[in-house]
Structures are given as structure tokens and as C-alpha cells.
Structure 1
Amino acid sequence: MASLKTVLYLGVCLSAWIITTADENFVPKAENIHWVSLDFKIVLVWTTIPSDHKYTVWYSSKESDWRPSQNCIRISHSECDLTGELRPLDRTYTATIKTEPAELYDDDDYDLDVSHSSYSTSFNPYRETNISVVNFNVVVVNASRVILNITDPLSGEHDTGRQLSIRDILKKNLKYKISYYKSGSTGKRDIISNSTTAEVSKLDAGQSYCFMVAAFIPSRPKSTQQGPWSIQQCTPGDDNVLQELSLAACVGAVFILLTVLVIIVTVTVLCCRRRRQRNTFQSSAPV
């Protein structure tokens, strides 16, 4: 009986030791790693089990060796801003996130084991960053011609203290797709502009037209060639003015008719009262 208790006690102690050791040796690797990039602001995002471990992000391309991100050495959060580090932008990069213990007694002697690393998919900023919605305004030149003034979105990149626009980076590869249609019509037309100033001519005089603009980069793969469409902007047309004038005329005519009707009814009532008063006076007078 005593030997059985001893065996059970040893089993419990061994199990507790195994669990404790496994807990100590557990390394929470980064998972669900993905790139988030808009207008060349580049962020690497991942998920992990909460712990006291730290994370260091390294990156490389086919043309360069692995190097650590200067902003993401032994960080505790699960995202890394790599904007300004992945240069040149027109290269394909891969990142690795290495899990490190919470405390390092000697950084130089610590071996970042490959089994504690997680790798991202490849990413080319020049070809894959999303482009935001563009702003523009429409200037009516004459009855059949308008000019669209488009504003290049700003990028996340800086050079000598100046924030670059996406045109500074994409240069001649950046174009704008313009879609427009006559108000009330379902037929749309698309044109491509090479610059931020686009002229649309041969419009039907007196008609209202609506326009939308999107960044367009034909040198890219189809999945990232076009940015989102802008908010629609429409020009005023003569039809709208005529409709407004017609509505105002109708309202005015109704008002005048009601006024005349009120006057007629009032005059009629007054005349009837006077006539009754005269008849009553004549009938009551002595013969």
C-alpha cells in the first residue's frame, strides 16, 4: 500500500514537472502575418498568444541580405511600421518575425532559432500598395467642355523632409481613369488622363454630366491596377434650371389664381349683403 502511494506521488510530481517545463519552453510564434499598405505606408501585422515574449522583425529581398527593422526590435505589440525601410520600393520583400524571451542576459550569445520564426508572404510596395480615393473638382469652360483638376494623393514616404505624393514615386506610370455620363442616362464613357488636368469635350450643350475619377496604374497586375472610385460630381444643366423655373412659375400661377378667387368671393359676398340691406330697408319704409 505504501509503495502504491509512493508511485502515485511520483506520478503527480512528474506530471507537474512536465507541465511546468512545457510552459517554460513554450514559444508563442507569430501567426496570420499579412501586409497592410495604403499610399506606400507599409505595416506588417500579425496575431499571437498573449505572453511576455518580445518580437523582432527582419526583412530581405532577393537583392539584399536579412536586416532587422530599426523600429521593430524586441517589441511587445503585434505590428511593425516598415514605411521608409523597404527601399528601393520596386523590389519584392519577405519578412520574418522572430520570437525572443522576455529577458535576455546576453544578446550576443542568444541564438534566434529558426523554429521560433514565422515568415510572411512576399510583397512588392511599388506594385501592390493600395491607392486611396482621389479628390478633384470640375470647372465648366463652356456649354460643351469641362476641365477636371485632380489632386495627387500624398504617400507615406518622405525625402529630405518633404512628404512625397504618389506621382513622385510612380511618375509616368500614374494615370487617372475618368468615367462620366449624361444625367438621366445609363450609358457611361471612360477616358484615361496622363496628368492631373483632364479635358472632357464634345458634351451636349445644356445637359448635366456626372464624373468620377480613380487612380490607374496600367503597369501593375490587374488586381492592383485601379484605385477606388471618387465621390461623384455633376455639372449643372439648362434642364435643371428650366425645371426650377417651371416649378416657380407653377407655384406663382397657383398663388395668383387663389388670390383672384378670394377677391371674387369677397366682392360677391359684400355685394349680396348690400343688396339684402337695400331690400330690407325698402320693404320696411312707410307707404
Structure 2
Amino acid sequence: MAFLKTALYLGFCLSVWVMTTADADSVPKAENVHWVSFDFKTILNWTSTPSDSTYTVMFSGLDDDNWKESRGCIQISESECDMTNDLSPLDRTYTADIQSEAAGNDYDLLELPHTFSPNFNPYKESQIGAPSFKVETAKDNRVNLRIADPLTSIYKDGKLLTVRDVLQRDLKYKISYHKAGTTGKRETTSDSSIAEMSMLDAGERYCFTVAAFIPSRPKATQLGAWSKQQCIEGKDSPLQELSVGALVGGLFVLLILIIIIVTVTVLCCTRCQRPRNKTLQTQATA
């Protein structure tokens, strides 16, 4: 009888364990977890099997074990979490833990299915967008570029910070320029948002593009997106303004005119030569 009770008890415990494991395995885990960050607006994305599960995002710096819940991502049904305001300070490496929970189930924290994210450092890895800029001509073959620092999604003291506010002296600008109509590009780097371009050829039209440049970063994220091209007006020669077809047509017309002038000159000289020869023959006979 004691043996039968023991067997029944063990069978019951095994059944409960199997049911609990099956329930936990039926909750879909987050997959393909990755970070998307643009001008320091940072989103954690993942994919999951459609279900009624919810997700809670925890995060921590790599240098400590102080896990915190993302305030806007507690038991959410979406497969993304805006962590812009969670990751502070920016120059720190973070990891996130996405915990899955089936609706109506009560799990112990250690039993929740979860997926860890790759490591991410916003300061070093957030992509920087294309800046806008104005071109101002100056004297002595100089041009000034006034670059507007891109805005971030970070608020401080009631206002949006710029990329310059975040990166400060680490932010520089790469400037690519070339003469209009040519493919030979040159590059220079400016430490500030006002770049003076000198040593330009007088009267030539130049085109410029600008991108944020952060040399302190890893090479893969040093350069931001390039801006739209802007050109300054120059004093182009008439030949530069003509198309290839117009130049060929002009040369053809010029060649025809030369042929006509030469032909007319030869004919005139020939007609003038005949009366002169007759005069010389008459004088010789006399």
C-alpha cells in the first residue's frame, strides 16, 4: 500500500512538471533581436510567432548586474521597444533581456522564456543623419559653409539636444567638393560647424556635400549620411555652357565657312589672273 501511494505521488509530480514545461515551451521567445539607432533615437526590435503573449524588456550596463525594466515596455504586445530615454549615460555598453509571458499565466521570474540582445553603445554606434548647410561666397576665392547640426531625440531642460550637444568636440564634418562638370573629388575635414573653403579657382563653379565625421568611433560608424549636393555659381566660359552636340555643330559650320572662303578666294584670284596674262601677252607681241 505504501508503495502504491509513493508511485501515485511520483506520477502526480511528474505530470505537473510535464505540464509546466509544456506551457513554458509553448510561449514564443523573441527572435532576431537587433538595435536600430538614428541620431540617438534607439529602438530595440525583434520578431516572434503570432500569439497572445506579452513582452517585458529589461536592460543593464555590461559593467554591473543592476537590471531595470524599460518603463515603456512592460507586458507589451508589440515587437519593438523605444529605449531612447532608458540608455543613459550614452557612452556605455548595454544589453537587454526580452522576457516572454503568455497571457493569464503566472510565472516565476526565473522561469520566463527570455532572449538576450547583442551589446550596444549609443554614443559609438548610433547612425548620424545627413546635415543641412548653407553656402556663402566670400572674397579672395573663399567659400564658407554654415552647417546645421542634426537634432537628436533627447530632451534636456525642455529642449532637444543636437548631435553637437551630445558629441561635443568629437564631432567633425567631412566635406567633399569638386568643380562642376568634373568627377575629380577632393575632401577636407572641419572641426566646427562653420567651414572655410579656400584655395578655390577663381570664377569656377564648385559643388559641395557634407557628412558628420566622428574619428573617435569604430571605423564602421565614423561617417554619417551625406547631405544633398549644393553648388555655387561661377563664371563659366561659353564653351563650358555649350553641350557636346552644340560644339560639334559649331565646328562643322565653321569648317563649311572656311571652305567657302577658301573657294571664293581661289576663284577670285583665278579670274584676276586671266586678264593680267592677256595684257602681258599683248605687250610681248608688240
TM range (shorter): 0.7 to 0.9
Matched, 1:174 2:175: no
Following superposition, the deviation at residue 100 of structure 1 comes to: 1.2
Contact 2:34 / 2:45 at 8 angstroms: preserved in 1?
yes
- The 1:77–1:237 alpha-carbon spacing in structure 2 relative to 1, beyond 3 Å, is same
The 1-side partners of 2:141 and 2:177 are apart by: 14
Following superposition, the deviation at residue 186 of structure 1 comes to: 2.5
- Aligned residue for 1:202? 199
The 1-side partners of 2:220 and 2:32 are apart by: 22
- The 1:204–1:48 alpha-carbon spacing in structure 2 relative to 1, beyond 3 Å, is same
Following superposition, the deviation at residue 125 of structure 1 comes to: 0.2
Count of paired positions: 229
- Unaligned residue ranges in structure 2 (runs of 5+): 1-17, 247-286
Match of 1:37, as an amino acid?
S
Match of 2:59, as an amino acid?
Y
- The 1:40–1:173 alpha-carbon spacing in structure 2 relative to 1, beyond 3 Å, is same
Aligned match of 1:236 in 233, 243, 248?
233
SS at match of 2:165: helix
Match of 2:148, as an amino acid?
T
- The 1:24–1:128 alpha-carbon spacing in structure 2 relative to 1, beyond 3 Å, is closer
Following superposition, the deviation at residue 183 of structure 1 comes to: 1.7
The 1-side partners of 2:115 and 2:183 are apart by: 51
SS at match of 1:229: coil
Matched, 1:95 2:92: no
- Aligned residue for 2:68? 67
Following superposition, the deviation at residue 22 of structure 1 comes to: 4.5
More deviation, 184-193/204-213: 184-193
Counterpart mapping for 1:15-94 below 5 A = 22=22, 26-64=26-64, 65-94=66-95
**Per-residue CA shift, 1:15-43, capped at 9, x if unaligned?**
xxx99x95785010000000000000000
The 2-side partners of 1:125 and 1:203 are apart by: 38
**Per-residue CA shift, 1:24-79, capped at 9, x if unaligned?**
85010000000000000000000000111110000001234111100000000100
The 1-side partners of 2:23 and 2:85 are apart by: 38
SS at match of 2:202: coil
Aligned match of 1:162 in 159, 168, 177?
159
Matched, 1:113 2:114: no
Contact 1:143 / 1:204 at 8 angstroms: preserved in 2?
no
The 1-side partners of 2:158 and 2:150 are apart by: 17
Contact 2:135 / 2:146 at 8 angstroms: preserved in 1?
yes
Match of 1:126, as an amino acid?
Y
Moved over 4 A (4+): 21-25, 240-245
More deviation, 23-32/36-45: 23-32
Compute the TM-score of the two structures, normalised by the length of structure 2: 0.74
The 2-side partners of 1:82 and 1:24 are apart by: 27
Counterpart mapping for 1:256-271 below 5 A = none
Aligned match of 2:142 in 145, 154, 162?
145
Following superposition, the deviation at residue 185 of structure 1 comes to: 2.6
More deviation, 23-32/203-212: 23-32
SS at match of 2:169: helix
SS at match of 2:138: strand
- The 1:74–1:115 alpha-carbon spacing in structure 2 relative to 1, beyond 3 Å, is closer
Identity of aligned residues (%): 54
Following superposition, the deviation at residue 240 of structure 1 comes to: 6.2
**Per-residue CA shift, 1:78-103, capped at 9, x if unaligned?**
00000111011000000010011212
Contact 1:212 / 1:229 at 8 angstroms: preserved in 2?
yes
Compute the TM-score of the two structures, normalised by the length of structure 1: 0.73
Contact 2:101 / 2:112 at 8 angstroms: preserved in 1?
no
SS at match of 1:97: strand
The 1-side partners of 2:23 and 2:44 are apart by: 28
SS at match of 2:74: coil
- The 1:114–1:32 alpha-carbon spacing in structure 2 relative to 1, beyond 3 Å, is farther
Following superposition, the deviation at residue 112 of structure 1 comes to: 2.3
Contact 1:143 / 1:206 at 8 angstroms: preserved in 2?
no
The 2-side partners of 1:185 and 1:243 are apart by: 11
Structure 1 vs Structure 2 CA RMSD: 2.7
- Aligned residue for 2:133? 136
**Per-residue CA shift, 1:236-280, capped at 9, x if unaligned?**
1111688669x9xxxxxxxxxxxxxxxxxxxxxxxxxxxxxxxxx
- The 1:25–1:62 alpha-carbon spacing in structure 2 relative to 1, beyond 3 Å, is closer
